[in-house]
Each structure stands twice: as structure tokens, then as C-alpha cells.
Structure 1
């Protein structure tokens, strides 16, 4: 099918002529679908595979970093656990030495020996940086001796949790909470053991005060500067003893609802949890271990934002290194797709032009094939015209003579005559011998105005779409034949769409250059009429323009519709072509030559003044070679009141006109010459009219014919033309006009004679 996209003539590429039976050119190396899919697959692979690789590498890297962070916390927490265990074991040994020191002494005995005990306590605990003080408390919680002061201040710890807990046998309170020392004022937590009397009853408390800062300093040195990890020392109830970096001021306890708090409550010895730390205000990977048998745990937390930050940095490098060449590859594939699209567009344009060339060349060959058939059809139609003229004339004679009782029979004959005349016109149109009345029209204005005509032909089930370019050129056509062509195509489209569909009419400008080797050359208006019907099989499409060929049922088609369209376009100077396929609808292309003349402006018709003079008959010279046609026409003219002289050929008719002139008569013997064009002999009707114009320029001539090609010469002669078979009423109007002109000319001559001066 010819593409709808308008193209400028300079965009075309000359194509080699296609053979009559050549298949449509294949596209070696132009399998655009496969190539496009291949490029798209490569593009998808070039996008998806790097993304999958980057995603896999990113996931692997993140998992490895999290695993490394977990392993680091586990190693670090083991180191911290070993350190804490040594410290607590040493403190427990110190407590045992102090207990042995005061064994067998009651509170009064300790007070009595306080100076000596103070020196020994200072010697026991003074050499350790983690020990803030070593103290001995009595059964009532009062301070009996201290390594810091001698004599000791009056201090009581009777209300402290560690004192009451040890007194009551609670294990957890052997390690106290962090507090401010009442003796030294330092921040400490205590490790205490019960002091028993000889009866094994609770006699007091021996306590070693430990500095939390010692543990924090050790953790700081262990982790190093800017470490993403944090180390802490907590009791089993979640109380924080030491932590580095220091937690928020309001955070001193691990909440039981956190994964670590829940593990401590369950008494889990060690493990790794993921949680949100309120102390650090961050998500962490946290490893914890219990310090020996003490109610104390060491924790190591690794901040996950630090893991993600390092992962993001590595991912950025990976993306840049991976996608930089990938982006270059994407650009290459994208450019290849654009180039492929341009090649496909050029290929489709080449296909459209090749299809158009095939259609035009096929239509041109069809026109040559139909030319011979047209001559035969034209000869038959001409003879049939004469028969119709005889019947029509005799029917008119019978009517004018008032044949009573034959009204119905005469009406039936007249209906048959009209059908025969219509069939004859169609045959002559197909044979290119029907006279044309060409006029210049604007297609862009005329096609939308013909919308109602097309709607009536299409019926209610078919929708009509008219799409005409704004700058469509004017064309020189016979409007009646153009309308008939559109009606024929609309009726065919309606029959091809019994269940409804769409009929589209488009018009655009198109130009053909001489070097393209096509039958058409110059500027044309391309009218496309497309339906969505069932389409034609190839064998029907090959014979679509043949006269009398039809696929319709008997009585519904004459086989002259499409031939009329083809003949109309060819006689206009253009061409018609068809594209169709089963299930793909049918598109008919009409190529009408551009007219350089502008359509004439419509002028209102001026009313004619009725003549009041008495009407007189005319002297008519009837020239007709067919005796029966001449007899019928002569009788009709006589019944109209005219006087008729008959001649059988143009030579004898010319002699009858020349005879009175040769005898010196100044007034012509005839008022009108009515002649057939096609006659035997050396002269036809047009030759006769041209000869009469040389003898009597004012003698009216009416030529009757059924051949279109004979009318070309009549345009140069001042004659009237009747298409055969003609309507009697039309002949009467012509005769009446000639009679009025003759009377007006006579009146003018008479007035001129009266006004001229006498000699």
C-alpha cells in the first residue's frame, strides 16, 4: 500500500523498473526486527548484567564487612574479657588477704589496731592503678579502717545496696553500682566480700573500690582513635560500670527490652546481637561475654553506620569503575538503534515508493490492455446509441401524436431507454469515448462538500473520514465523472464491509520527476480512498479494472464501476491504482494532474427576458448517415414546427448550403445545421462545421456524437454539442435558444436599417 506520508520530490531516490511478474523486493540484510531485538537484548544485557554484578558485589562486600565487623567485635570482647577477669581475680585476692589480715578481730579489735591495719591496707592496694581504696566495714556498716585515711572518717554504708546485698547473700551485689566514694569523693564501683566471725555469722564487709576510668582508659587504648567500636563493662542487671566512648548522661542502664538486656536477664554467657543502642544512638553489632563467674559482662559494639559508610565508598568506586565503560557501551548501542531506525525508515520509504511504482506501472499496463477493449466497446456502444436514438425518437413521436391506450407501454419503453442510455454512457466512459465537461475545482473544498454524497452511498453502518491537506492543488476534471467515480468506490467499499467499518478519503500533493522512469511525470493530486473491508485476493485484484468483470451476485453489479474510475483518471491525464489484500482492506489511489488555472468564481445567473414575438419554425438541415435515425429525428423536428431538409453525408450537406450562395442569394436557405459527427466519407461532422464557418459564420451548427475524442476539435469551433443519445427536451431548449438569437439578430438589423440615413 502506498504510504500516506507526504514527501517532497527532492527526497526521492530513483528506483529500477519492476518487471511485470517480479516479486516484491526482499530485504537481504535488512531484517530490522531481528537486528532491533538483538540490539535491545544487548542493551538490556549491558544494563542488567553490570547491575546484577554490582548488586552481587555490593551484597557480598556488605556481608563481608558485617562479618569482619562481627569477628572484630568478638576478638575485641575476648581481650576485654580477659583483662577484666584478671582485674577481678586480683581484687578478689586482695579481698581475701584483707580478710585474713583481720581474721579473729572484732570491730573493737580493728579499731584498736587501726594504725597498723591502715599501713598494711595501703601496702596491699596502693600499688594498683585500678584500686581507689581498700576499706573494712563493721557489721553495722560503719567504716573501721581504710587505705586512704587514718584514722578513717565516720562513714556508714548500712543503706548501700552492696552492703545489704552481701549481708543478705545476693551474689550480684558483690560488684556494686557506680557511685561517688564517701571517703575519697572519687567515682568508683566496689568489689566486696563478707567478713565472718568465729561462729560463721556476718561480721562486716571488706571492700575494694575500683576506678571505672581505669577500664575506660584501657578500652580507649585498645580501640585506638576514631574507632567505630565501643567497649563497656556492665553488671548482669544491665547497670553500666565503665564505657568508652562515654555514653549519654541520661543513659546508665541497658534496657531489659533490648536484645542485650534480654540476653543478660537469661544469663547467656556470650553472644552477638544486632540492636539499636540508646547509649550510642546508633544501630550496632554487639558482642558480649561474661567475665568468669562474676555478675559482670564485657560488651563490644560496632556501629553499623560506619560499616555502611565504608561500604558506600567502596560501592561508589565499584559503580564508577563498572559503569563508566558500560555507559560508553550503552551509547554505542543507542546510536546503533538510532541508525537502525533511520535505515528502517529509509527502507520503508523505499518499499512505499516501490509499491507505488508497482501500482502505477500495473495501472499503466492495464490502461494499454484496456485500450483495445475500449475500441471494441466504443464501437458497440455507438451502434447501440443509434438503436436507442431510433427507439427514443419513435416513442416521442408516438407521445406527441397522442397514441391513446399505450401510455403504460410507452412509459415502460422510456424506462428501458433510460437504463439503456445509462449503460451506454458507462460503456462509452469505460471505452474513453464519453464526452467530458472538464472544469477546474479545488479538491480541498470540493471533497468535504461531497461528504453527504458519500454518506448516502456508504450507508449507516460505515463511518466516513475525510482528511485533506490544506494546500492541495486544484485539478481539471469532469465533476460529474468525478462524483460517479467516488460513488462507485463508496458502493464497493460498502459491499466489502457488510458489518460496518471505516471509509477514509485523503488528498495530498505529490510530484514525479522524469528520471524516475514512471508513466507519470509532473505534479499530481493524490486522492486515496481506503476501506477496512475484506480485501481482494490476488486473482481478483489483477482483474479489478477489467470491464464487465464482477464478483458480485447476479443483478447487483455490472462490472463497470472500477473500469469507470480507471477510465476517468486516465482521460483526465492521470492514473488509478489499487492496493488490497485479504483481511487488510482496499485502498484505491487516484492520481489527478494539477491544474495551473484557478477555479472560476461563481456568478449569479441573469434572468432571460421572455420574447413576446410570434414563434416561427426553423429551416433545419439534418445530416445523418443512418436512415432510421434520420427519419425519427426528422419526424420529431417537424412535430416541433420546424422544416427539415435531410442529407446523408457531409459533402452533400455542404453542397446544399453552397448552392444558394453560388446562385447569388444573400439570405441563407437554412437557419440551423444538425449533424452527426461520425459519418462515412472524407468529411465528418466537425469538418462540415469548420467548412460552414468559412461560408456562413453566423449559421448555427449542432453536432451529435457519442465519441469523446472527437470533441477536442469542437472546442476550437463555435458549435453546440449534444451527447448521443440526447434528451429531446435538451434539443428543444437548444432550438429555442437558436430561434431567440435569430429573432434578436433580425430585430437588431431592422432597427439599424431604420436609423440609417436615406441615400
Structure 2
């Protein structure tokens, strides 16, 4: 895009300074915050990770050690229990052998016949052992023949018992019975028995020694000690429990089916260690087992793993406390160092931002002073130029109204030149900040798409136009004509920057700036970005892009007022303009317009009214103008409209004419309105005159004419009509018709 605004080579234009998070300031020596932050973060990470790894390794090692110790304890304990059980069963086998020898050669009747002597023998054989509940002899049909417990054996038969049938049938496992309740005494016992044989080696009955499970439980209880995490049991090879300490809380009398221990017993394994979930104990256990000699009996020792975990948790808590207390102190030190570093970095960035802001303010102040001086010069020239345009415009209108024959072509050329001069004057006053603004609230999202045709005409056929507006874009308060002119200026510059065609993209979105963000303004803005794909600007041109009267275009094709008008429009609207450009990368112009909280006014629908049939009557106009040629042209034009005109050269003489009482001077006509310039010589200007007339003649209409924005703003605070120079004669005529209509309405109301 072709540039249009300068500055000294050592200055930057009033564009938004880069945000600190986008373009960080280089840190001074000793202020390399990134390296220091990374170092502290690395130390913090190491201070967290290394203790965690150490604690995890120690905890894992401690857990494995405790499991190994528990396994070793169960193996030692089960070995002791196995030795004890082996002694008991070997002794029982010896007792069985003695009883068998005692009744050798006797049949059932012979035993019954000698029952008294046999009872005494049996009592002496098994009576001295605490584990032995009774020694009994059973006949071939399972009847009790003799017992160490009863002198006269009761009528008891065990023919249906598993151990009797198993011994009779030669099953080894049944030589040790399951735990049962004695039929006579009711005591819980399990039996170890051997078969009796007659002389023909036929089955003649059994000899049984009843053992007390409580004996084994007592021994196991003494072996384990109080609050032991282990359980000892005596089980048959089929999993039936003969003795268990501590007793199970369940009613089950067998090892958990399909468990690793049950599978090992079924395989006939002599010894081993398994890990399993025990339903009898109600927890996970480490079980060591050993077979008792050649008997179908095993001793098992189960170590409850929750006890291992409880001890491990206790040790782990001590380890964590002892390890992490110093680590936490180190973390706090590093965290405080990070906070201090962040505070230092924030202070450094604030200092950098303040220094940048100070440089920006100084540059803006120099630019403002330069623009103020240039604005005063341009404003003075534009004011005089306005008066010249007013003279030419009035005389062209006079010529038109007088019907000058054969001059239509020449008058049309003059009117075209007048429009160009008015546009140039408007641009000059806009750049000088003296162009009156007619602000109104508009919806950018609806207004921009409606400008497609206008922008397309400015861009030409070779350039494609893309308009992308967000749905929720806020309304803005702007002078619509100035806004349109700014877009046209940017579109024309983009067209000139893309002689072979390209794309011109208009984007609009909401953006908010907060204090201390590095942007010259703060608040809510609508951000319009206008981007072309042209050749771009070199740095030296970009630095002077917004400078008035600076242009890179060829002679006769540029005025140097396009981009300055854009910048002045944004600044006077309360916003800002900025340019991003590079050679070969195109140019993007950013317009920041402040958000308006007011809603746009709906356009009025003009209803057709009845035309007045009354004949238009001329008005008595007091024309106050210090420029004689402007006054002469305006007076002649008003007279051609049918109005009576009285001229005054300054506000004081005009006020004197109005104060003169009617009838004292026949040359003083009555006035229906006052048409006055604002900028006049003397102690009073046009606004002072209007304020004086409001107190003197409140109903007297006043029309003020000016080309200065600051005067226009003051004039709008007074109850008067305002025309900005150079004005259209048709607009003045419309105002006069409105005043005449009001006058006729008041006259009719007074008559009625």
C-alpha cells in the first residue's frame, strides 16, 4: 500500500508499541531470567524426582525383604510343627503296633471274653499321653470290642465310618480320619488306625487311637505366641483340616478348593511355599507346607500379608517423613526463589514498559506539536480556501438560477472543480483536526458489508475484495462520512500497491486492552484490519507513512493526505491507527475504534406529507459575514431565492441592528432569521452573537456557518442550526424552507 505520513528518521509513527509478551525486551547482563528460571525449575524437579525415586526404591526393597522374611519365618515354623507332628504320629503307630500284638490270635469273641484284662492293658498303653483321647479295638463288623476309656464298652459300631471302610479296603488316606465327634463322650477327635489280621491274613477289624485336635492347637498357640501374624494347621492330604490355630471364623473344615495349596496337596508335593487368598483366614497369605513323614498329613503355616503391608506402611511413613521433611524445606526455598525471580522479572518488564512508554509519549508529544503547528497552518489555508469556494459556489448558483444560456458545460466543469476543492478542503481540515465531525453510532457488522460496492469501485476490477466480519462486533461512534473516506483512501492505496491485481481483505473483530499491556490506549475497541497483497513498504517509507503531504506516488497522482486522514479520523474518534508492512509481504493497516455503549438509532421512515398550497413568502435575513465577496455572493443568492437580505460585517453591528426598535428607522426591516459566520473579527464571534440573541430574541432563528471543528462543537451546545463550510446551497435552502414553514405555522396558530 502506498504510504502517506512521515516522521523524523529517529522517530516512529504513533503506532501501538509491541506488547511485552509478543516482543520481549532483551534482558540486560545479570537479568537472564529464562536461564535462571530453568535452572531453578531443574533444581526443583530434581528435588522432587530424586527423593521420590529413592523412596520408591527403598519401599520396594523393604517390601520384598519383608515378604522374604515372612516366607523364611513360615518355613522355620512349619518345620518345627512338622517335627512335632511326626513324633506324635510315630508314637501312635507304635501304640497301634503294641495293641495289635496284644490281641494277636484272638478273634472278636476272644477279645470280648478278656475285655477286662484288655481294657486295663489299653488304659496303661494310652492313658499317659495328653494327645490320646482313647485306644479302641473294633471287630470285623465295626463293633467296639474294647476301649481304654470304658471298662465295659458301650454298644457302638463304626461300620459306616470312612476310616473303618478305608482301612478295610486298604486306602492309605483313611488311616487318618477327619475330625469327628466321639459317639459316646462327644469330644472332638480324629483317629489313626491300623487293620487287624487273623491267621489267614484276612481282615479281622481295626485298632484305633483317637487323638485330640486341641492338643495340636495348644502346641501351635504356644509356638506362635500372642498376636502372631501366622496361622498353623494340620491337614490331611485331601485338604481336610485336623487342627487350626487360631480357629477359623468360618464353618469350613477344608482348605480352599482350587487354591494353590489345595493343588499342591493333590499333587502329593512334599513341601513348598505358595501365595494365595485364603477363605478360612479371610486374607491373602504366604503358606509354607510340609508332609509329615509318610503319613497322609501335612503341616501348614500361613503368614497374613496384611500384617506385612501394615508393617511396611509404618516403615514407609517414617521413611517418607525423614526423607521429605528436608526436601519440603528445599522445595520451599526454591519456590521462594522462583517467586522472587518472577517479581524481579515483573519489575524489569515494568521498567522496560515504562521506558518504552516514555519514549512513545515523547515521540507522540513531538509528533503532536508538529501536527499542531501543521494543523494551524493547514487550518488557516483551508479557512481562506473555504471562503474562496463559497464565493465561486454562490456565483455558480447565481449563474444557474439566472439561466445563463450557452454556459451549461462551463458551469458543470466549475461545479466538478468545486466538489474536488471541497473534498480537498475536507481532507485538509481533517488532517488538521479542524474538520467538524458528525458522529453517530453504527453497527460495523451491518455497515461494512454495505460498503462492498463503494470499496469495489475504489479497488478496481483487478483486485478481489474479501470482507470478514465477526458476528458479535460491537457498535462504534464515528463520523460515517469520515469513515467512508478513510476506507476509500486505504482501498485506493491498496489498488496502487497491486498494479497487477491481488486481494484486499477487511477483517473486523472485538479486542480489549488493559492498563500496563504496552498499548497506548486501554478499554474495548473494534479492531479493523485492512490487508493487501501488494509490494509492501520499505522501513524508511513506513516510518513516514502517516506524515501529512508525504507521498511516494508520481506527480499528479497523490496528495499525501490519504493516510494522514485515516490517522486523524481514528485519533479524533478516540482510537488509533497503525501499519504493518514489509517488502514483498504486503501491507496491513490496523484501525482501533472505541466501542460505543449506545445502540444505533433506527433510520427514520419519511412519511409523505401534504404539500402546502400557500405561496412561499420571502424571509428577512440578517447576513453577518466579514468577507465582502462571500457576503455579496451569499446576499445575491438569497435575494434570488426571494428573501430580503441585510448585511452586517461583524457581530457587534448585527446585534445593534437587532436591538434597534421597530419604527424608529424605516431602513431597519424586521428580521426573520440571522445567518452568521462564526469566525469573525472583533470581540464577539458568531457563537457569542447567538448566545446574546437567545436572551434578547429567543424565538429568532439563527444559522451559524463554520469550517472549524472546535467551533462546531461549541455551536452545537447552543440552540441554533449549524452549517459546516463549504456547505451545499441546497442544504441552506432546505433550512430556510423549514424556518419559513415554522413561521407560517406560528402565524396560523396565532390567528386561530
Distance 1:232 1:204, change over 3 A: same
User: For 1:206 and 1:353, how far apart are their aligned partners in 2?
Assistant: 110
Question: 1:161: Cα distance to partner?
Answer: 2.2
Question: 1:247: Cα distance to partner?
Answer: 2.5
| 1:501 is aligned to 2:501 | no
Question: 1:224: Cα distance to partner?
Answer: 0.7
User: For 1:616 and 1:282, how far apart are their aligned partners in 2?
Assistant: 114
**Contact 2:567/2:577 (<8 A) preserved:** no
**5+ residue gaps in structure 2?**
1-9, 19-23, 454-466, 495-502, 596-611, 657-663, 690-695, 742-752
Question: 1:730: Cα distance to partner?
Answer: 6.7
Residue 234 of structure 2 is matched in structure 1 by 233
When structure 1 is superposed on structure 2, of 272-281 and 362-371 the one drifting more is 362-371
Residue 476 of structure 1 is matched in structure 2 by none
Secondary structure at 2:210 match in 1: strand
Residue 15 of structure 1 is matched in structure 2 by none
Residue 470 of structure 2 is matched in structure 1 by 463
Residue 64 of structure 2 is matched in structure 1 by 63
Distance 1:568 1:332, change over 3 A: same
Question: 1:578: Cα distance to partner?
Answer: 4.3
Residue 91 of structure 1 is matched in structure 2 by 92
Question: 1:400: Cα distance to partner?
Answer: 2.4
Secondary structure at 2:430 match in 1: helix
Question: 1:286: Cα distance to partner?
Answer: 1.6
Residue 167 of structure 1 is matched in structure 2 by 168
Residue 527 of structure 2 is matched in structure 1 by 530
User: For 2:740 and 2:180, how far apart are their aligned partners in 1?
Assistant: 143
User: For 1:84 and 1:98, how far apart are their aligned partners in 2?
Assistant: 21
Residue 498 of structure 2 is matched in structure 1 by none
**Contact 1:618/1:739 (<8 A) preserved:** no
Distance 1:429 1:549, change over 3 A: same
When structure 1 is superposed on structure 2, of 581-590 and 609-618 the one drifting more is 609-618
User: For 2:513 and 2:152, how far apart are their aligned partners in 1?
Assistant: 122
Residue 188 of structure 1 is matched in structure 2 by 189
Distance 1:361 1:134, change over 3 A: same
**Contact 1:686/1:714 (<8 A) preserved:** no
Deviations 1:682-714 (A, max 9, x none): xx9625989xx9xxx99xx99998788999999
Distance 1:282 1:433, change over 3 A: closer
User: For 2:250 and 2:42, how far apart are their aligned partners in 1?
Assistant: 60
Distance 1:77 1:139, change over 3 A: same
Residue 750 of structure 2 is matched in structure 1 by none
Distance 1:81 1:730, change over 3 A: closer
Distance 1:363 1:105, change over 3 A: same
When structure 1 is superposed on structure 2, of 188-197 and 43-52 the one drifting more is 43-52
Secondary structure at 2:253 match in 1: coil
Counterparts in 2 of 1:214-229, with a 5 A limit? 214-229=215-230
User: For 1:220 and 1:212, how far apart are their aligned partners in 2?
Assistant: 12
| 1:123 is aligned to 2:124 | yes
Secondary structure at 2:681 match in 1: helix
**Contact 2:443/2:475 (<8 A) preserved:** no
Question: 1:231: Cα distance to partner?
Answer: 0.8
Distance 1:580 1:184, change over 3 A: same
User: For 2:74 and 2:525, how far apart are their aligned partners in 1?
Assistant: 82
User: For 1:145 and 1:734, how far apart are their aligned partners in 2?
Assistant: 146
Residue 72 of structure 1 is matched in structure 2 by 73
Residue 26 of structure 2 is matched in structure 1 by 26
Secondary structure at 1:284 match in 2: strand
Deviations 1:176-223 (A, max 9, x none): 222334565543222222222333222332222222221111111100
Distance 1:625 1:493, change over 3 A: closer
> Which gives a bigger RCO, structure 1 or 2 (Cα 8 Å, sep 6+)?
2
| 1:686 is aligned to 2:681 | yes
Question: 1:159: Cα distance to partner?
Answer: 2.9
Residue 301 of structure 1 is matched in structure 2 by 302
Distance 1:580 1:396, change over 3 A: closer
**Contact 1:485/1:561 (<8 A) preserved:** no
Residue 744 of structure 1 is matched in structure 2 by none
User: For 2:141 and 2:386, how far apart are their aligned partners in 1?
Assistant: 151
Question: 1:498: Cα distance to partner?
Answer: 4.2
Residue 753 of structure 1 is matched in structure 2 by none
Distance 1:590 1:118, change over 3 A: closer
Distance 1:293 1:534, change over 3 A: farther
User: For 1:108 and 1:738, how far apart are their aligned partners in 2?
Assistant: 156
Question: 1:313: Cα distance to partner?
Answer: 2.8
Question: 1:230: Cα distance to partner?
Answer: 1.0
Secondary structure at 1:686 match in 2: coil
User: For 1:118 and 1:240, how far apart are their aligned partners in 2?
Assistant: 31
User: For 1:144 and 1:713, how far apart are their aligned partners in 2?
Assistant: 139
Deviations 1:259-310 (A, max 9, x none): 3222222222222222332322333222211111111111111222222332
Residue 429 of structure 1 is matched in structure 2 by 430
**Contact 2:624/2:676 (<8 A) preserved:** no
Residue 749 of structure 1 is matched in structure 2 by none
TM-score by length of 1: 0.67
Distance 1:75 1:392, change over 3 A: same
User: For 1:163 and 1:179, how far apart are their aligned partners in 2?
Assistant: 13
Secondary structure at 2:286 match in 1: strand
Question: 1:504: Cα distance to partner?
Answer: 3.7
Deviations 1:656-676 (A, max 9, x none): x9xxxxxxx99989999x999
Question: 1:235: Cα distance to partner?
Answer: 0.9
**Contact 1:46/1:329 (<8 A) preserved:** yes
Deviations 1:405-425 (A, max 9, x none): 554663454234213211122
**Contact 1:534/1:585 (<8 A) preserved:** yes
**Contact 2:676/2:704 (<8 A) preserved:** yes
Aligned residue-pair number: 659
User: For 1:239 and 1:619, how far apart are their aligned partners in 2?
Assistant: 131
TM-score by length of 2: 0.68
Distance 1:416 1:141, change over 3 A: same
| 1:148 is aligned to 2:144 | no
User: For 1:636 and 1:558, how far apart are their aligned partners in 2?
Assistant: 33
User: For 2:227 and 2:303, how far apart are their aligned partners in 1?
Assistant: 12
Question: 1:240: Cα distance to partner?
Answer: 1.4
**Contact 2:95/2:125 (<8 A) preserved:** yes
Deviations 1:51-106 (A, max 9, x none): 44444443333333222222221211111111111211222222223333444444
Residue 271 of structure 2 is matched in structure 1 by 270
Secondary structure at 2:295 match in 1: coil
When structure 1 is superposed on structure 2, of 342-351 and 181-190 the one drifting more is 342-351
Q: RMSD in angstroms over aligned alpha carbons?
A: 6.0
Secondary structure at 1:501 match in 2: strand
User: For 1:317 and 1:710, how far apart are their aligned partners in 2?
Assistant: 84
**Contact 2:389/2:418 (<8 A) preserved:** yes
Residue 515 of structure 1 is matched in structure 2 by none
